[in-house]
Structure 1
Amino acid sequence: MSYDFIDLFAGIGGMRLAFEPYGRCVFSCEWDTKAQETYEKNFGDKPVGDIKKIDEKAVPGHDILLAGFPCQPFSLAGVSKKKSLGKEHGFLDETQGTLFFDIARILKEKQPQAFLLENVKNLRTHDKGKTFNKIMKVLEEELGYTVYAKVLNAKGLVPQRRERIYIVGFKKPIKFNFPDIPENGPAIISILQKNVDPKYTLSDKLWEYLKSYKEKHSKKGNGFGYGLADLDSFSRTLSARYHKDGSEILIPQKGRNPRKLTPRECARLQGFPDSFEIPVSNTAAYKQFGNSVPVPVVKKVAEQIIHALERNETIQTDIDIKKNAVVD
């Protein structure tokens, strides 16, 4: 069976890569123009822009909604006013003004069979857990989905410690199991290029600065500072700020200062195939891969979502449904 899906907060299409074996993307949305450029180069269609300007009724019908949405503080503006007027307010009202609300209104209008949301691990604890609880209540109580959530670490599939929360929902109360991610995976040396341009090697000035910065914070008992990668292990998490100095993942070099990863190595670190084209500047590419999803992890989750839809094995009791807790 083939499934139509939409790709919200699409970035450069990491989620789309994972789901394309199971169907076709019928709509994509991404506001960043440089990310749109990379997306169009690789998939042949340009995502529409600001999701807040999109009429949910105009979104094509689809079976699965995908969204790696940014986590913003939830705005409670207007709730106090409604209470003072004695009006009831739903959780959807509480999330207006946040980007999650845009996902919720599309889910409400289109009622897809399933969805996959991805976010930073700290979404669980943001605002003492209130943000995550509101999201779950919107998805379960307001929209009627059976929801599963789990933090998965990508380091068993790519050579990078990258913990992210994955939230999976189904319109029907069907059983779902997250994939088992191996504890140990490939080493960072496996993604390195040979004969790297010297421009990626840190200047003496920058290297001395990073060393003194780390030493200063070490004396204060802080762990801030650069990270020199163990080539036989995994790296720290690649972030969107990597373009600034590359300090979180530096590659040691014999007889020379360490170097930054190249954009292609960052693509590999996130599990993108070498056939994935990088048409933008290095600065833009570093931001894009730092903001992206680890593709092999999403592929594993996608496979489980499709299996669950096709098995269509329903949960029998409310007690079973409530067991869908976040698991570390």
Structure 2
Amino acid sequence: MNSPLPEAAILLAEAKKLYSQKELASLLNKVPRTIARWESGECPVDPNALLVLRNILSKAPAPADHDFTFIDLFAGIGGIRKGFEAQGGKCVWTSEWDSYSQKTYKANYPNDDHDIHGDITLIDDPVNQVPDHDVLLAGFPCQPFSIAGVSKRNSLGLSHGFDCSTQGTLFFDVERIILAKQPKAFLLENVKNLVNHDKGRTFSVIKQVLEERLGYNITYKVIDGKHFVPQHRERILIVGFRKDIGFKDAIGDNWKNLNLPSLDDGPKLSSILHPEDGTEIDVDDGRCIDKNGKVQKKYILTDKLWAYLQAYADKHKAAGNGFGFGLVTPDKTARTLSARYYKDGSEILIFRGKGKNPRRLTPRECARLMGFGDDFKIPVSDTRAYKQFGNSVVVPLVAHVAGFMKPFIMEMKKLEADNIHPRLF
């Protein structure tokens, strides 16, 4: 039978959850080496220190309910946030300008202790207006980067270089906040074509700003959401860690070998479709399925629309173009869900049997297609919901990347708490 731990060992273990070795040494008026000797059992804790330790722990705040903090820029409906929350992160600041997206965001994150900031371009003092955070998240819109005309601006005495090449784009606002707050890490998400936009110049500017002006080691990868959901959706994910904290080689090697679920074994559409057999519990109060569990008729294409889409596809096929609708069966994978899905649903039409008109996905099915659970609330119209899900991210993919980042983030927090500065990379 094991002997119970002595009180000193128990108190030191509790203190270790709340304080770094250096912090505890300062509180007890000792040197860190003494704390280390106590923890290893090399020498006993002296009675006076034990008394102080009891007092400290009796007044200590409750342990944090999170492992790290982040801010959510261009937040949309909170898809990136949801992925990082799954890994123990806490959102401490949000920015999203669209009022309808704000409505969905608030409905799903009602307990936030911060308001949603609207237009990010109106943040003129990020040092004081944005709270400190460990990780910055941003699914920033990709606007054209104009890097022409620098010599002309120089001759006129106007700003150029980094400022000129990013000013006027929303990436500039991400840049300003990173420069002001110096988070330990960031994740930026965008369409895969960002890499090739303007013959690669746009991405070249982004890399230069992140690495040279802001001081981060970055790595990036285009990943298909199909690894996690039944949808072909390729997006670029740019991960950055502050250079002064190091880890460059370890991060790069691990990122190259990022372990993703097999594409061949990925989920099929049947996993997100309403079963229509009466077994589904209606989470949307009759919005998507009727009392018999069948998809509401409003989602089935009318004869007129179905005839139009077929004629349109035939016309472009005859001209040698690839335009047309995407008719899929439950055992297949869908095309990319876009923000224009509300118009006719043509990129993802569900086959309902020979001789029957296909149907579009319901908003709930779109939520599932992006990896949102059925507890996710949809407080806006179908049109707005389709736009919001089409502009969102594949949540389990983001959670997977957050899982890759977390060990490095936590190690950075530990190094920071212990005031250890690794060599520069």
Q: Give the alignment's TM-score, normalised by structure 2.
A: 0.72
Give the partner amino acid of 1:206. Answer: L
User: Contact conserved, 2:246 with 2:424, CA < 8 A, in 1?
Assistant: no
Match of 1:52 in 2: 121
- Give the structure 2 partner of residue 293 of structure 1: 393
Q: CA RMSD in A?
A: 2.0
Greater mean deviation of Cα atoms: 241-250 or 224-233:
224-233
1:76-225 matches, within 5 Å, as 76=147, 79-85=150-156, 89-171=160-242, 172-174=245-247, 175-176=250-251, 177-178=254-255, 179-182=258-261, 183-184=263-264, 185-193=266-274, 194=276, 195-225=294-324
Q: Residue by residue, what CA displacement relative to the aligned partner does 1:293-324 show, whole Å, maximum 9, x if unpaired? A: 00000000000110222356999896xxxxxx
Q: Which residue of 2 aligns with 1:33?
A: 99
Secondary structure at 1:256's aligned position in 2? coil
Shift of 1:88: 7.5
Instruction: Look up the equivalent residue of 2:101 and give its one-letter code.
Output: A
How many residues end up aligned between the 2 structures? 318
| Equivalent position SS for 1:118 | strand
How far the C-alpha of 1:180 sits from its partner, in A, is: 2.3
- Tell me if structure 2 keeps the 8 A contact 1:92–1:104: no
In structure 1, what is the Cα distance between the partners aligned to 2:157 and 2:383? 51
Distance in 1 between the 2:149 and 2:168 partners?
11
Q: Which amino acid aligns with 1:4?
A: T
Q: Which amino acid aligns with 1:145?
A: Y
Instruction: Give unmatched runs, 5+ long, in structure 1.
Output: 319-328
| Corresponding residue for residue 4 of structure 2 | none
Residue by residue over 1:153-203, the C-alpha shift from the partner in whole angstroms, topping out at 9 and shown as x without a partner, is: 010110000000000000133232333222231000110012101110000
Of residues 357, 364, 370, the one that matches 1:264 is 364
Q: Does 1:250 align with 2:349?
A: yes
**Which residue number in structure 2 is paired with residue 17 of structure 1?**
82
2: CA distance, partners of 1:212 / 1:308: 54
Q: Which residue of 1 aligns with 2:44?
A: none
1:73 alignment partner, one of 131, 144, 156: 144
Cα distance in structure 2, aligned partners of 1:251 and 1:87 = 55
Of the three residues 42, 62, 70, the one matched with 2:133 is 62
> For 1:5-37, what per-residue CA distance to the aligned partner results, in whole angstroms no more than 9, with x for missing partners?
000000000011111142211100011110000
Q: State the identity %.
A: 58
* Post-superposition CA distance 1:208-228 (Å, at most 9, x none): 000000000001111101000
> Counterpart of 2:338?
239
| Distance change >3 Å, CA 163–CA 315, structure 1 → 2 | farther
Distance 2:272 2:422 in 1: 42
Runs of 4+ in 1 over 6 A off after TM superposition: 313-318
The residue that corresponds to 2:377 in the other structure is: 277
Give the Å deviation of 1:256. Answer: 1.7
